[in-house]
A and B are shown apart, each in its own frame.
Chain A
């Protein structure tokens, strides 16, 4: 299962990517899917379920603001998750 972490800007998405890659966590950055974007733009990172908790810890440690986080639903769509 994939988890989507939404950031306030491309700069913060890439900053998160930078710190996660340094700690061996793979993350793919992309435009936030429309159904998850309240603002019509913005960037997000996708991580595997197994890395999600650690990824959030690192992102918080680096004081990078998370706007929201979602998990892919079992039957499609997204489910809001805690971060």
Chain B
């Protein structure tokens, strides 16, 4: 038996088209955007097509508004540190991953203050109001996740975006768990930047990420270097996307990502339906197992199939290890989101996280549930002894 339920960390498997594109990238390509020869120009065309496909999928202002990064974390660092300066204030949620919290923490050294807004697990209007109430005269950024990587809860980013725009505050969205799973309309959200990995829901290779940036918005750069443009000047160029893409791009990764984006674009509706069905089946099954405590039980708000739970009196790492022994891959611990665990009172224990995608099946969920039930029963017996 082999079951992969760790898609919130990276998706597996990748579509065949992704694997083929990565392999092909080594056969006919050179550095894109640098040379004028056939190999370089071919690579540049593929990179451009990937930008174009991503811009279409996310309704960006144009292909040039797609910045390639190595992952969502890099994209978030570029966006957050590019927008914020000393003495200002940031509003974020209490469910954020360290890819948001650590850059903010680092900015604290230059006097940047942060307010962490409590996200309601039941009522989006309460969450939106909490964001509004947290705004101060010196608030220069609102940043929040689209979907919690711990509980799968979908945050009301359109409402938060409206508030940000009402106050003319830049709005950065971490779409690490939503890109490729939900429709994301950059313009409708009113975001300044949306940051995402290429290797999760977008089904590309690891080492790929995207920052979608609003046309006309110029961020301070956090790194500089060669861009293949304005090579006679020592100042970083202002034109996007090159301004934020110093150095050689991950061309093999982008080739794979392009195929992943095409796959998602062609199948997003069925991906959503399948994942929603699997999530409901999983949640129903988990709630029937005695001793399992699912973090977010209610289904009043939209959730993605990222489900965390604790097992009474059992170490989550041991549960994950027992599942691994029989070929089921899940993740345990804090999932790099200590703030979210504090908010959900699981900071000390961590959780077991099960994250599905559309390549998973009902049969796999069934196998997982029955295996987990046995593991939990054994754990109870051992405790009694």
Stretch at the interface among B96-104, B147-155, B228-236: B228-236
B64–A8 CB distance below 8 A: no
Main secondary structure of the interface of B (DSSP, over half): loop
Interface 1/0s, chain A 10-48, versus B by CB < 8 A?
Answer: 111011001000000000011100000011111100000
Chain B neighbourhood of A29, CB < 8 A: 41
CB–CB A9/B35 < 8 A: no
B45 to chain A, nearest CB (A): 6
Whether the pair B44, A40 counts as a contact (CB closer than 8 A) is: no
- Contact (A12, B228) CB under 8 Å given A30-B36, A31-B35: no
Q: Which of A10, A15, A38, A39 contacts B33 (CB 8 A)?
A: A10
Contacts known (A11-B64, A30-B36, A31-B36); A18 close to B52, Cβ less than 8 A: yes
Count how many chain B residues have C-beta atoms less than 8 Å from C-beta atoms of the other chain: 24
Residues of B contacting A41 in the complex (Cβ-Cβ under 8 angstroms): 228-231
In the assembled complex, the CB of A46 is this many whole angstroms from the nearest CB of chain B, namely: 12
Given the complex, which residues of B lie within 8 Å of A11, measured CB to CB? Answer: 33, 48, 51, 63-64, 239, 241-242
B62 near A: Cβ within 8 Å?
yes
A-contacting residues, B59-102, CB 8 Å: 62-64
From A10, A30, A31, name the one whose CB has the most chain B CB atoms within 10 angstroms.
A10
Q: Are A12 and B239 in contact (CB under 8 A)?
A: yes
Contact digits for B292-318, partner A, Cβ 8 Å, 1 yes 0 no: 000000000000000000000000000
Per the bound structure, the CA–CA distance linking A40 and B34 in Å amounts to 11
Interface residue B260 (Cβ < 8 Å from any Cβ of A): no
Contact B36–A40 (Cβ < 8 Å):
no
**Contact among B45, B230, B232 for A14, CB-based, below 8 A:** B45
| Cα–Cα distance between A30 and B37 once the two chains are bound (Å) | 8
User: Per a CB cutoff under 8 Å, which of B36, B62, B228, B232 touches A9?
Assistant: B228
- Given A9-B33, A14-B48, check contact A40 B231 (CB 8 Å): yes
Q: How far is the CA of A12 from the CA of B45 in the complex (A)?
A: 11
Judge whether B161 is part of the interface by a CB distance below 8 angstroms. Answer: no
* Contact assessment for B232 and A38 in the assembled complex, using a CB-CB cutoff below 8 Å: yes
Which of A8, A31, A38, A40 is in CB contact (< 8 Å) with B239? Answer: A8
| B231 proximity list for chain A (CB < 8 A) | 39-41
Cα separation A9 to B32 with both chains bound (whole Å): 11
Q: Which B4-38 residues sit within 8 Å CB-CB of chain A? A: 32-33, 35-36
Chain B residue, CB-CB nearest to A28: B41
Shortest Cβ gap from B213 to chain A (Å):
13
Cα–Cα, bound, A43→B52 (Å): 19
Digit string of A29-72 for contact with B (CB within 8 Å is 1, else 0)? 11100000011111100000000000000000000010000000
When the two chains form their complex, are residues A8 and B41 in contact, meaning their CB atoms are under 8 A apart? no
Using a CB-CB cutoff of 8 Å, which residues 189-244 of chain B contact chain A? Answer: 227-233, 237, 239, 241-242
In angstroms, how far is the closest chain A Cβ from the Cβ of B211?
A: 14
A-B complex: 7 closest residue pairs judged by Cβ atoms: A31-B36, A14-B48, A41-B231, A10-B33, A40-B231, A39-B232, A9-B229
New A-B contacts (16) at CB < 8 Å, excluding given A10-B229, A14-B45, A39-B229? A9-B239, A10-B32, A10-B48, A11-B64, A11-B239, A11-B242, A12-B64, A15-B48, A15-B62, A15-B63, A18-B52, A29-B41, A39-B230, A41-B228, A41-B231, A42-B230
